[in-house]
Amino acid sequence: MPLKNEILNRWLGREAPAEHEPKKQPEPAVVEPASVIADWHMQLDEEGRVTGISKPLRNALGLAAVVTPAQRLMGYLMPGSALVVEGAPEEWHGHMLDLDFRRPNGQVLHTRGWVQAQGEKWLLQLLDIGDLMEEANVAQSRQQCLRLAGQLAEKVRGCHVDRLQAVTAEQLEELAQSYRVPCLALALAEPGGAGWRIYAQFNAQTAPQLWQDGQRLGTDLDALVSTQTHQIDFGEPTQLVHLQSAFGNADGFLLPHHKEGSVKAWLLFGFYNAARQAPELGEREWMNLCSALAGPILYRHADQAHRHQLERLAVLQDLLGTGWWEFLPDSDEVQLAPQLARTLGLPGSSDVLPLTQWLQLIHPADRHELESRLGLLRDRGTPMLSCVRLQQEDPAQPPVWLRIQGQVLVSGQARRVLGFMLDVSDIKNQEIQAAAAHARLDNLIASSPAVIYVLGYDRGSLEPTFFSASLTPLLGWTQAECAEGLLTQYVHPDDRDIWFQRTRQLLREGVVSCRYRLRDKKGEYHWLLDEARLLRDDLGMPVEAVGLWLDVTEATQATERVRESEERYRILVEDSPAMICRYTPDLILNFGNRPLADYLECTPQQLPGVNLGNWFSAEQKEAFLRRIDELTPEAPMSTAEICLELPGREHAWWVWADRGVFDDSGKLVEIQAVGRDNTEIRRTRMQLNQSAKMATLGEMATGLAHEINQPLNVMRMAVVNVLKRLSNGDTDVEYLTDKLNRIDTQVQRAARVVNHMRVFGRRSEIEQQLFDPIDAVDGTLNMLTEGMKGKGVELRVGEPGPRVQVRGHVDQLEQVLINLMVNARDALLSKKEKTPELEPWIALHVEQDDQTLWLIVEDNGGGIDPRLLERIFEPFFTTKPVGVGTGLGLSVSYGIVEQMGGRLSVSNASEGACFRIALPIARD
């Protein structure tokens, strides 16, 4: 090629023509004779008509051997270059002519030539400049390609990362339009190297869509050679058959982009044949374009991934209060991640600090260990892992634990010492707590009367694999002594059935609870409560059993003792001579023993359900219920003498002791009672009372005689006087009436005394009655006043208070008062014998408050020898001579007052004895 240019230039006498130079030039300086240098030439006449064509040119133009004469040169040329040869050859002389000839196949033959005169004719010599032209075209399009590549790269590199994909699609469009590619796509490797995926694509409207964004291409592309372009030609056999599906069975063209030795991206051209459609671009240009596009995208992706990585790391470090550290050996300093520096409470900007200062942050107890490990890491590369506490100002705070890890990183010549610090306080503190709890639990189990065991399951048999440490303290056996069937030997022979049954039940039902006796090493048996549970795997197959032995020897023995004791009590109750029963507050019997059943003339079995109230009179029942109602959890006991109307008997008197049973809320739920038949005793006592009463009457006889005698005397005097008057014939009616009235009064008086004596002498009523105690006082005074007067004893009777009622028998209270006054009289009379100047008196007065009424009998008889005070209520105790005193008066009186719910007491007052009868006032 340089040769051609040289020829041309030499001929034209100038340097190679510039493109923009005008076509017509001044005359050449040297005009050589018409010598033929070029193979291609034509002969022209002076008007420019072709008269001859050299054979090579004819061949090149594909013309026949015989030239049709008289055709102008213009007729052979492409329209574009025909302009150059307007006019006659003479005008062209001295100019360089670029002539493009038309070839019959439509191709163009590029030539450059000049004309030379040849006599009258002209010789047009031509050189083939097709290759020169082509070279220039190629250079141009390569330049364009380079420019395009630059633009693509710039766009992709400069856009915002969020728009990267969109911009890539735009650049694909740009590229497609530049080279008229119907379908164009960029495929990137999938993360993890599992095939390829379309990242962005462009599709011309006229072409079918081959690819879509995000489409997976599989791994077919992996087989391609990474360093060259690949053309798939569907029309011809191709080795890349496997790719045809990815290209819709159309022609295709692939460009790899590789980095660090492997392909990272493919640029795919669909319906495109590069060699045919862009012949001017070589492999290098294509690769260049691909790299211009894919390179920046991959870089930006890597950059973004890196940034994300950093952000994740920062977040992680922030969240965990942790971070990396690096030891800088040159300065003996430690550099910390900013988050870590913050966690450690270092001031704002100081994330590089001297090693010593770093160590100062650590608790002294852990500091030396850390320092030593760090030394090993630095000097010998021993990887480091240690848990240390931070130095803390407030020792009350829970410690902050850090896990420090370090290793040496060698890359090339560089050797770095770096690691991580992680706050593990939560875990560490939990670990410490768990360890403490575990130790406590171990301790507890070891010191408790419980053994935890594990039984391993092996084809239907269960053998111990573990016992808690409490085994030996409890039973004396070691774990080994309980293994492999040995345990069975220790089970009490009587309990072996339970033992075998337990294993079977555990396997069958998965859970068991039983008791049996197990021998300890000393040969003593322990009652064990055994509770076990079978654990199964996911498939329901037994894996092992976990169980617990609880030593219940004491409890079992205690239960046994209770049972025995209950049995004893049952016998005691059933065989007791006393009546024992339980009944509800509405008097329905729950239980009664044989003695009670005998009294009620039935069997013990018939007793439950019977109402006790059936045997009471209405009054007794009311009194009984009132008494039960007064029971409280604080005072649950009550005793009374109750009266029943039993079948076949008139009245039965029972001494009856009740004990209330209360529920948690203090409500009475049941009463337990013990009773004793007191009828005989009571009858005897009544007889005694009666005898005592009679004795009292006897003692009163003198007084009573006086009492009767007095009215008799008055009457006798009246009768004598009346008779005397009548014998004198005096019949003064007024006088006689007066005397008769006096006699009547005295008769009434005597009748009253006699009447009262009759009443008093009667036996007492069975049931107690309500009465006014003052009635008893009046009755007593009626009988005694005259007698006392006769003996010179003054009666001092006090004013009674408001009227009240007491419960009992009025005659019995009278009996008590008579006893006391007669005793006082006797004491006074015996004292008067020794001291005649004594003026004897007996005082009887009444005192009362809301609940109690007192009848007080006091005298001035000198009182009772203090040594005898305690004994005077004893039956048959008397200081009176034999035949005079019975010693029953006070004893009977005491009993009567007690029967009335009251109390009789004595004391020595200033001048004599003072007896006080205290009686509960009855209220409705």
Q: Which two tokens stand for residue 273?
A: 């044949």
Candidates 64-72, 370-378, 801-809, 819-827: pick the segment binding ligand ADP (CB under 6 A): 819-827
Candidates 175-183, 515-523, 754-762, 823-831: pick the segment binding ligand ADP (CB under 6 A): 823-831
Minimum separation from the CB atom of position 843 to ligand ADP (A): 12
Binding to ligand ADP by residue 827, rule CB under 6 A? yes
Minimum separation from the CB atom of position 698 to ligand ADP (A): 11
Minimum separation from the CB atom of position 787 to ligand ADP (A): 16
The closest of 609, 618, 617 to 583, measured between CA atoms, is 609
Residue among 317 and 891 whose Cβ is closer to ligand ADP:
891
Number of residues binding to ligand ADP, judged by CB under 6 A = 20
Candidates 280-288, 599-607, 807-815, 821-829: pick the segment binding ligand ADP (CB under 6 A): 821-829
Binding to ligand ADP by residue 784, rule CB under 6 A? no
Binding to ligand ADP by residue 859, rule CB under 6 A? yes
Choice from 198, 290, 341, 913 touching ligand ADP (CB under 6 A): 913
Beta strand 49-53 pairing with 71-72: antiparallel
CA distance 641 to 635: 18
Binding to ligand ADP by residue 787, rule CB under 6 A? no
Burial class from Cβ neighbours inside 10 Å (0-12, 13-18, 19+) for residue 774 reads: middle
Residue 399 one-letter amino acid: P
Contact 33, 11 (CB under 8 A): no
CA distance 762 to 785: 22
Minimum separation from the CB atom of position 806 to ligand ADP (A): 22
Minimum separation from the CB atom of position 776 to ligand ADP (A): 18
What is residue 71's three-state secondary structure? strand
CA distance 698 to 913: 23
Please count the residues of the chain.
924
Minimum separation from the CB atom of position 760 to ligand ADP (A): 17
Minimum separation from the CB atom of position 728 to ligand ADP (A): 52
CA distance 296 to 257: 11
Beta strands in 537-576 (DSSP E): 542-551
Residue among 745 and 879 whose Cβ is closer to ligand ADP:
879
The closest of 252, 213, 247 to 233, measured between CA atoms, is 252
Residue among 145 and 888 whose Cβ is closer to ligand ADP:
888
Residue among 421 and 864 whose Cβ is closer to ligand ADP:
864
712 to 731: interface string for ligand ADP, x by CB under 6 A: --------------------
Please report which helix (H) or strand (E) contains residue 743, including its range.
Answer: helix 733-761
Binding to ligand ADP by residue 449, rule CB under 6 A? no
Residue among 424 and 872 whose Cβ is closer to ligand ADP:
872
Binding to ligand ADP by residue 861, rule CB under 6 A? yes
The closest of 520, 521, 529, 581 to 552, measured between CA atoms, is 529
Residue among 201 and 886 whose Cβ is closer to ligand ADP:
886
864 to 903: interface string for ligand ADP, x by CB under 6 A: x-------x----xxxx----xxxxxxx------------
Residue among 433 and 907 whose Cβ is closer to ligand ADP:
907
CA distance 806 to 814: 13
Q: Specify which residues 532 forms β-bridges with.
A: 512, 547
Burial class from Cβ neighbours inside 10 Å (0-12, 13-18, 19+) for residue 519 reads: middle
Binding to ligand ADP by residue 829, rule CB under 6 A? no
Task: Give residues 245-274 in contact with ligand ADP (rule: CB under 6 A).
Answer: none
Minimum separation from the CB atom of position 683 to ligand ADP (A): 22
Residue among 631 and 892 whose Cβ is closer to ligand ADP:
892
Minimum separation from the CB atom of position 788 to ligand ADP (A): 14
The closest of 405, 414, 335 to 377, measured between CA atoms, is 405
Residue among 771 and 877 whose Cβ is closer to ligand ADP:
877
Candidates 219-227, 433-441, 582-590, 816-824: pick the segment binding ligand ADP (CB under 6 A): 816-824
Beta strands in 687-840 (DSSP E): 769-771, 794-797, 806-808
Minimum separation from the CB atom of position 887 to ligand ADP (A): 5
Residue among 231 and 696 whose Cβ is closer to ligand ADP:
696
Binding to ligand ADP by residue 824, rule CB under 6 A? yes
Q: What angle do CA 341, 347, 352 make, to 5 degrees?
A: 55
Mind giving me the DSSP string for 82-94? Answer: HGGG-S-HHHHTT
Residue among 448 and 878 whose Cβ is closer to ligand ADP:
878
Minimum separation from the CB atom of position 829 to ligand ADP (A): 11
Q: Considering Cα of 678, then 684, then 685, then 690, what sign does the dihedral take?
A: positive
Tell me the residue nearest to ligand ADP as measured from the CB: 889
Contact 857, 843 (CB under 8 A): yes
Minimum separation from the CB atom of position 561 to ligand ADP (A): 52
Beta strands in 307-440 (DSSP E): 323-328, 333-336, 352-354, 384-389, 401-411, 414-423
CB atoms within 10 A of CB 691: 13
Beta strand 71-72 pairing with 97-102: unpaired
Residue among 182 and 861 whose Cβ is closer to ligand ADP:
861
Residue ranges in contact with ligand ADP by CB under 6 A:
819, 823-824, 827, 859, 861, 864, 872, 877-880, 885-891, 913
